[in-house]
Amino acid sequence: MTNKTTKTKKKEDKKTEIQVVDTYSLSGKKVDKFKLDPDVFSAKINKSLMHQATVMHLANKRQGNASTKKRGEVSGGGKKPWKQKGTGRARAGSIRSPLWRGGGVVFGPQPRDFGFSIPKKMKRLSVISSLSAKTKDKEIVVLEKGPELKQPKTKDIAKTLKALKVYSKSVLFIYSKKDENLVRSCRNIQGLSTRLCSDFNTYDVLSSSKVLFSKDTHECIVKRLKVK
């Protein structure tokens, strides 16, 4: 009995739910149904891993430029204020002592690098977890095909977002191929950020309320994240 139960449990763990979402045209109409890859969009959600990836991203963005002057870096103070003995005052060697006004700072902040990294496998799994979390929350929007712009046209992108009812939300638009016209058309729309399918990370996904991409981009995302 124990062997049978363990086998059935293993089979249940291997099975993953296939998420089926609606596919929209650029005019906002429902066109068809689309099956998302279960290994990328229906995987186990690892919150601690997503947290590590997010902390790493934010830490790597910190400049670490805060700097204070130590006792030896403050200008002036070369002369002894008064003689060592006979004045009745406490001994003093420099007017730039940390005890004095205008003196150096003790243990103050110095320029430093806050950045760190995590293994590539952890990065990949954290991105998969973030996409699976968005799928679970029904925050994935799939387009039948991406916009084809001959020139930058912010008006066309805004029209598509309004038709999809995501215009006033923070949206991550993932695209498969480099398209300068698309990037320039999207950059003036507040809340909309664009990323190549090879460049987006866990923070990009989690910081957006909606994730938008086309069928072609879906294949690109799966190719990047899925292990053969």
Domain edge (last residue) among 113, 131, 148: 113
Same domain? 124 vs 44: yes
Query: What CATH number is associated with residue 31?
Result: 3.40.1370.10
Same domain? 17 vs 75: no
For the stretch 130-173, pLDDT in tens is 999 999 999 999 999 888 888 999 999 999 999 999 998 999 99
Residue range of the domain that includes 52: 2-62+117-225
Same domain? 50 vs 154: yes
pTM of the prediction?
A: 0.81
Q: What are 122's two structure tokens?
A: 């952890």
Domain edge (last residue) among 43, 78, 113: 113
215-225 and 120-136 helices, crossing angle to 10°: 140
Q: Which of 10-24, 30-44, 184-198 comes out lowest in average pLDDT?
A: 10-24
For the stretch 52-80, pLDDT in tens is 999 999 999 999 999 999 998 999 888 89
Same domain? 68 vs 130: no
Same domain? 43 vs 127: yes
Same domain? 162 vs 203: yes
Same domain? 128 vs 184: yes
Mean pLDDT value across the chain: 89
Q: Vertex 114, ends 108 and 117: CA angle to 5°?
A: 160
Same domain? 126 vs 177: yes
Calpha distance 76→78 (Å, rounded): 6
Q: Structural domain tally of the chain?
A: 2
Same domain? 72 vs 152: no
Same domain? 133 vs 199: yes
Calpha distance 224→144 (Å, rounded): 20
